[in-house]
Amino acid sequence: MRRRIRPRSSWTSTAPGGERIPAPAEWWLHHTAGPKPIGGASATLAREEKLIRATRAYHVQGRGFQDIAYSWGEMPSERLYDLRGPFRSGGHTRGRNHVSYAVVIFGEYHTRDTVTRGMVQAIRYLVWKATVEEWVQPGTYPTGGHRQAPEAATSCPGDRAMAKLAKMREPYEPPRSFTIRKPNGEVVQRSGEKTEELVARFLKRMDVGTRFKVRRIR
């Protein structure tokens, strides 16, 4: 399956909410604890987009947020969507909204829905994409499940999603060659690099070497 992130324009004409933030060093995993799109893993794009719009409407009209709360979303089909996108504060994780991203899996992952191998692979792709395009500081992502955030009082993202965190942190095997767009607009052609190779190169460029340690919340 060819991986990509569907743009925000695929589901809305509205501008993303939130304040502009620098590349963060945290990334939290959430679930909506609600319905999947009709059709589940076989849902059409139209049904997935309708569910995203409904979630945004609930957040804006029901909870008073500026926009849908999360940075990115994943559907049971393994499709990824830009929600607020990179470099935007969110409304997802109390006390961490200006220093972190959030990826949300649509569905209920306590006891009902299952995080498939393909869904895990899609999260790995998202982490790799964020790393090569410098949307995020070098590190190990997802940092943790929502329930592990410092001020959290929740069971989100559900036990079934939590059980897959270690797998989500494994490196993504990229294509042999790919094009990336850096935050300054520069377009670069690169050959395949695993996530840990990119992190090592970024640390060397930052001149922090082995002194840099990633804090993983357990």
Rounded to an integer, the average pLDDT of 136-152 is 92
48 vs 20, 33, 35, 77, CA distance in Å? Answer: 27, 16, 11, 9
Write down the pLDDT at residue 56.
Answer: 98
Instruction: Take residue 150 and report the two structure tokens written for it.
Output: 């410092």
What residues form DSSP beta bridges with 90? none
Dig out the tokens for 138 from the structure: 């070098």
> What mean pLDDT do residues 137-158 have?
93
CATH number at residue 173: 3.40.80.10
∠ CA(49), CA(55), CA(58), 5° rounding? 145
Percent of the chain as helix, strand, coil, to the nearest 5: 30, 15, 55
217 occurs within a structural domain: no
Average pLDDT, stretch 40-69?
97
Question: Could you give the CA distance from residue 164 to residue 120 in angstroms, rounded to a whole number?
Answer: 7
d(CA 114, CA 136) in angstroms, rounded, equals 28
Does residue 26 belong to any structural domain of this protein?
Answer: yes
Number of alpha carbons in the 13 Å side-chain half-sphere of residue 117: 1
In a domain, 89, yes or no: yes
Indicate the number of domains in the chain: 1
Range of the domain at 160: 5-211
* Inside any domain, residue 152: yes
Report if residue 168 sits inside a domain. yes
Residue 216 lies in a domain: no
Q: Could you tell me how many residues make up the chain?
A: 218
- Whether 20 has a pLDDT exceeding 80, the answer reads yes
140 within a domain of the structure (yes/no) = yes
pTM, rounded to two decimals? 0.84
* 22-36 residue pLDDT tens: 999 999 999 999 999
Amino acid letter, 111: T
Q: What is the pLDDT of residues 175-193, one digit of tens each?
A: 777 777 777 777 777 776 6
98-139 tens-digit pLDDT:
999 999 999 999 999 999 999 999 999 999 999 989 999 988
Whether 164 is in a domain gets the answer yes
55-89 per-position pLDDT tens digit: 999 999 999 999 999 999 999 999 999 999 999 99
Amino acid at 122: A
